[in-house]
Amino acid sequence: MAENIIRRSPAVFDSTPAQTEMRDNWTVVLEYENQGDGPWVIDLSHRVRWDLQDREIDAIQPWGLNIPDTPGWCLFGNGVLINRMNRTQSAIWHLAGDKPDSPAGAAYTDVTDATVFLALIGKNLAPLVEKLTSLDFFSPLNEPPFLLQGPLAHVPCQCVMLEKSQDRSGILFTCSRGYARDMVHAVVEAGTEFGLRPAGESLFQDWLNELSINS
């Protein structure tokens, strides 16, 4: 029965896919027609995500990775991003490579199908992002990768700044699946004046391969 399940992303763009592939019952868009030169919005909702909650969270090591000990700090390793949210909670996002085995234990909850997951990447994202949120992603006090939690397009989100420079910036954000349609509309409308276009996962992976962050 599992092989007959069709999984659909809650994010829909008004753009024509140029290349797709089936992966874990998702139709993944690898490239869109007319992706342009950036900035880009990319749907990563098919990438598996977990919520981890435990009173002894500092003793847990998902796939051998240490959970950052300070809320707002993040660690990126082996294609997995771990974001410390508070004293007892972390978010775990799979960004690259093969899907890891699901971690064992009642502390983990798979939230992939309950949320939408998007990326904004490109040059000089600051004026675009400032139209969407008052969260200060571009403060010189914060070194990527770091987590900010709060409203983006008036929707409660978990947001991670992965890279921050004039030539290369990247923000990942996730929120409840039910907000996906309004979120996509808000992001695309805010980015119109900057030439924002949807792009496929292949462009994100190329960008990620060149990523230079302090993990």
Q: Is residue 118 located within the same domain as residue 190? A: yes
Domain count, the chain: 2
pLDDT confidence of residue 148: 97
Neighbouring C-beta atoms of residue 156, cutoff 10 Å: 11
pLDDT confidence of residue 166: 79
Q: What is the pTM of this model?
A: 0.94
Q: Is residue 127 located within the same domain as residue 147? A: yes
In the chain (215 residues long), the average pLDDT of successive 10-residue segments reads: 76 96 94 95 98 96 94 94 98 94 92 97 93 94 94 97 90 97 97 97 95 60
Burial of residue 210, with CB atoms counted within 10 A of its CB: 0-12 exposed, 13-18 middle, 19 or more buried = exposed
The neighbouring-strand residues paired with 115 are: 176
- Positive or negative torsion for Cα 114, 52, 65, 101: negative
Q: Please write the tens of the pLDDT for every residue from 45-71.
A: 999 999 999 999 999 999 999 999 999
Is there a domain that residue 215 lies in?
A: no
Q: Is residue 138 located within the same domain as residue 200? A: yes
